[in-house]
Structure 1
Amino acid sequence: MTAAPGPGPIRLLALRDTPLSADEVLAAVGDDTAGGTVLFSGTVRDHDGPPGGAPVTSLAYSAHPTADVALRRVAEQVAAAFPVTALAAVHRVGDLRVGDTAVLVAVACAHRAEAFDACRRLIDDLKREVPIWKRQRFADGREEWVGAGACAAAG
């Protein structure tokens, strides 16, 4: 699902089952009025939790049918709370391997401090409020769902 850009700073919002492109996201937030652009890239790591946690072999992301609506709401809230000139957020769904990019968010603002703050808020709110869940697969064969508590946000 990809939301068409509308008027204002929200340039790209998408949930995709194909690899994500940092170049696409950076191009989407390119803005001559921005003095600071911050990109966050979330990747699949080889362990759960702190270093030394259980070895992870892969992840599978699932999104509630309303995830695109929640993603837009989060983006709009960030754009309203910060002096954002451009914003983009894309998240993978489906099966991912260690090293794959799971999420990309980028924010452009007139100044770097604002861009850092807005980007942090965007990824934090996306993780907390958008109903996207991951199933971790561990080296020992176990599986675990993470983020299922966000089901309430989907309702």
Structure 2
Amino acid sequence: MNTDDSGHAAPLEKCDALMLDNQLCFALYSTSLMMTKVYKPLLQELNLTYPQYLAMLVLWEEQGLTVGDVSARLLTDPGSLTPLLKRLEAEGLISRTRSKEDERVVLLNLTEQGRALHEKAKRIPHCILGASGLTIERLQEIQGELIGLRSNLQDSL
């Protein structure tokens, strides 16, 4: 290990491209962490975790989706989504039923309680907007840019 005159570890050759604060990935990661922290108390009022909230958002848009449909929308693996969906079912928010056409397919529907939760959740976007300190127009611009970045990254895989 290289040491400086005081015996402390000497920094490696400075490379601006490898500085943490110059990494887009870190900016995205740390912003995601902060976003999740802002959501946490809002979602606790609904008794949902952030991943559960995302799944509920998909089901509030469209009912009768399959586990695969929800997984594709959330860009997750169906196997990792299943335990989350089982918890939502245990909480009485969704029902999971096997398709009559293909028993391997599980259909997801909101229960009355799940539909009622939608009403309570409607205030969350406004709270997030306030916490961001940005205008809705600027947030929509950022969202569009991130979706474009995500698409480019998906295309590179």
Tell me which interval the TM-score lies in, with the shorter structure as reference length.
under 0.3
Greater relative contact order (Cα < 8 A, sep 6+): 1
Higher strand proportion, which one?
A: 1
TM-score, structure 2 as length reference: 0.27
TM-score, structure 1 as length reference: 0.27
Which structure has the larger Rg over C-alpha atoms? 2
Higher helix proportion, which one?
A: 2
